[in-house]
Amino acid sequence: MMYLEHFGLDEPPFKITPVTDFFFSGANRGEILDALVYAISDGEGIVKISGEVGSGKTMLCRMLLDKLPTNIKAIYLANPSMSRDEMLYAICDRLQLDLEGKRISVILQTLQNHLEIMYERGERAVVLVDEAHAMPLETLEELRLLYNLQVGKHKLLQIVLFGQPELDEKLAQTNMRQLKDRIVHHFTILPLSQKFIHDYLMFRMRAAGYKGPDIFTPEAEKMIGKASQGLLRRVNILADKALLAAFVENTHAIEARHVQAALRDSEMMPMNPWANRKQVGIVGGMLLLAAIFVGVGWFLNQEGEAAAGQKGGAVAVVTAVPPVVTVAAADTPAASTTPATQAVAAGEVAISTVASVAASSPVQRPPFPQVSGVSANSRLQQRLDATQLLWNTAPRGAVSIQLFYTESVQPTRMEGFLQRANKLGVLDEIYVLPIRLQGRDAFRVLYGVYAGGKEARAAIPQLPQRYLDAFAPTLYLLDDSQSTP
């Protein structure tokens, strides 16, 4: 990254990918980690950790892997969309049990025998499920059955679930009651309060090799804390872009105007997670490809390829920010085509490959309620119509990719997002599902439709790069358990 030498950094300080060297133990995160290690080492029962998108769940999971005692074998499941059988094979594979092609009864008996041998040696196994809110209900139920494996009074397998607040909704279903009753430890990762923003920013800077004085002014820190609402991913995005803005000005102090430049580039909207932190949603916003105008030839050359399609001396600074993205002037379609739907002119929508998605019959569902403020001839209404048709026609077991969901209905912002999706050539893959969130109308935005979780998970890396940068894609089940939006 071009500003590293300018600030005396060894590496980028605000990467959004989890790196354990950048784990911030403040704001009770260190205490939660210690409590998790204790709960797994000395307790019984299933453990659940919940938190919003970008709050640091995956980082905590990676830290837990590093801190567990050596006698505890950790089985990390990063792909939650597995079927029951796929999960069993994955667990056995992590335990170096070659059971490919064996009957389920044989797998379960062999697994229990192996866990009993581990217990006799003083060893234990724990399954860590990342993004557990995206795990199919059948697979979650199989986890509960695995948890029941025991020798005498001692459980042979620990279960730890990391998930977004949707996991609580899933566990609240009647058929999940037995699993929910076995959760004996529940930890919630809260957003950073304003008083920790300074400590977090400087911790990341020091961890990246910075040795100078405090670099963010109090006004800049306050602005970052307010705009990000304490969600670490958002803090990282704003801080990174503020560093770039200061670099362009050839200054070393990060002031309010640099954060304002980052906010103009991101246009993050207030989220208000403080009112109800357990049910906070990702708020709609736009990533504006606002340009930082510089007359430095070196800078333009460095960023020339990234700014393809921009005119004059403007260089588009594109940084990940949830949840809505503005695409650069690119009219070419995405590299891959999902087995999804094709839309036709004037809102007339045809499901082109639904019959091949799965052999099961579709689930008939009631029509969506009318969404106020949406023009009948708008792209948003066309995509709502396409989603209604998909909702009525998608076979049981069909899966889509959730890009984000909004906190309220904002037709103008959604229209802008859909316009940019059209420029990317992926408008026909976008579905807009009306939902109710905290008593308000809102939208869930989906991408494509696939035969199952395996196919959808494999398609995530093929999403447009802008979406991969801006969102945290998860799987959304279009099955009969989702009878209403």
CA distance 371 to 359: 32
CA distance 21 to 11: 11
Domain range holding 227?
4-20+192-316
Q: In this structure, are 173 and 202 located in the same domain?
A: no
Identify whether the C-beta of residue 212 lies closer than 8 Å to the C-beta of residue 8.
yes
**CATH, residue 222:** 1.10.8.60
Question: Strand, helix or coil at 351?
Answer: coil
In sign, the C-alpha dihedral spanning 476, 478, 482, 484 is: positive
Token pair belonging to 245: 């803005």
Identify whether the C-beta of residue 386 lies closer than 8 Å to the C-beta of residue 431.
yes
Cα-based distances in Å from 238 to 16, 27, 157, 399, 441: 11, 20, 41, 33, 28
Q: In this structure, are 351 and 471 located in the same domain?
A: yes
Q: In this structure, are 237 and 198 located in the same domain?
A: yes
Token pair belonging to 286: 């736009």
Q: In this structure, are 132 and 244 located in the same domain?
A: no
Residue 323 belongs to a domain: no
**CATH, residue 400:** 3.30.70.1070
Q: In this structure, are 397 and 310 located in the same domain?
A: no
Residue 438 belongs to a domain: yes
Cα-based distances in Å from 339 to 79, 104, 342, 354, 356: 21, 30, 9, 8, 8
* Run means of pLDDT, 10 residues per run, the chain, 485 residues: 88 92 92 91 85 91 92 91 90 89 88 93 93 92 90 89 91 90 90 94 96 95 94 94 92 94 73 38 32 32 35 32 31 34 32 35 59 84 89 81 82 88 93 79 89 85 86 71 43
Cα-based distances in Å from 53 to 278, 411, 482: 12, 23, 21
Size of the chain, expressed as the number of residues it contains: 485
Identify whether the C-beta of residue 349 lies closer than 8 Å to the C-beta of residue 443.
no
Residue 178 belongs to a domain: yes
In this prediction, residue 437 carries a pLDDT of: 66
Identify whether the C-beta of residue 317 lies closer than 8 Å to the C-beta of residue 244.
yes
Q: In this structure, are 446 and 463 located in the same domain?
A: yes
Strand blocks (E) in 141-289: 150-151, 154-155, 157-163, 183-189
Residue 334 belongs to a domain: no
Helix axes 194-207, 232-248, angle to 10 degrees: 60
Identify whether the C-beta of residue 188 lies closer than 8 Å to the C-beta of residue 160.
no
In this prediction, residue 308 carries a pLDDT of: 35
One-letter amino acid of 441: D
Residue 326 belongs to a domain: no
Q: Give pTM, 2 decimals.
A: 0.56
Q: In this structure, are 163 and 197 located in the same domain?
A: no
Q: Torsion-angle region of residue 374: left (phi > 0), alpha (psi -120 to 50) or beta?
A: beta
DSSP class of 22:
G
Q: In this structure, are 150 and 105 located in the same domain?
A: yes
Token pair belonging to 311: 């005119």
248 closest CA partner among 239, 258, 260, 238: 258
In this prediction, residue 268 carries a pLDDT of: 62
Residue 118 belongs to a domain: yes
CA distance 31 to 469: 31
In sign, the C-alpha dihedral spanning 421, 427, 431, 432 is: positive
Give the total number of structural domains in the chain: 3
17 closest CA partner among 485, 475, 472: 472
How many Cβ atoms sit within 10 Å of the Cβ of residue 68?
18
Q: Which of 165, 189, 213 is the last residue of a domain?
A: 189
**CATH, residue 90:** 3.40.50.300
Residue 356 belongs to a domain: yes
Q: In this structure, are 176 and 37 located in the same domain?
A: yes
- Which alpha helices (DSSP H) does 121-217 contain, by range? 137-147, 166-171, 177-181, 194-207
Q: In this structure, are 250 and 301 located in the same domain?
A: yes
Q: Which of 316, 334, 356 is the last residue of a domain?
A: 316
Question: Strand, helix or coil at 125?
Answer: strand
Residue 327 belongs to a domain: no
159 closest CA partner among 149, 151, 169, 168: 149
Task: Count Cα atoms within 13 angstroms, Cβ side, for 427.
Answer: 25
Burial of 102 (0-12, 13-18, 19+ CB in 10 A): middle
Q: In this structure, are 12 and 35 located in the same domain?
A: no
Q: In this structure, are 120 and 96 located in the same domain?
A: yes
In this prediction, residue 282 carries a pLDDT of: 32
Token pair belonging to 85: 């059988």
Q: Which residues 6+ apart lie within 8 Å of 429 measured at CB?
A: 334, 338, 340, 341, 421, 447, 448
Q: Which of 141, 167, 189 is the last residue of a domain?
A: 189
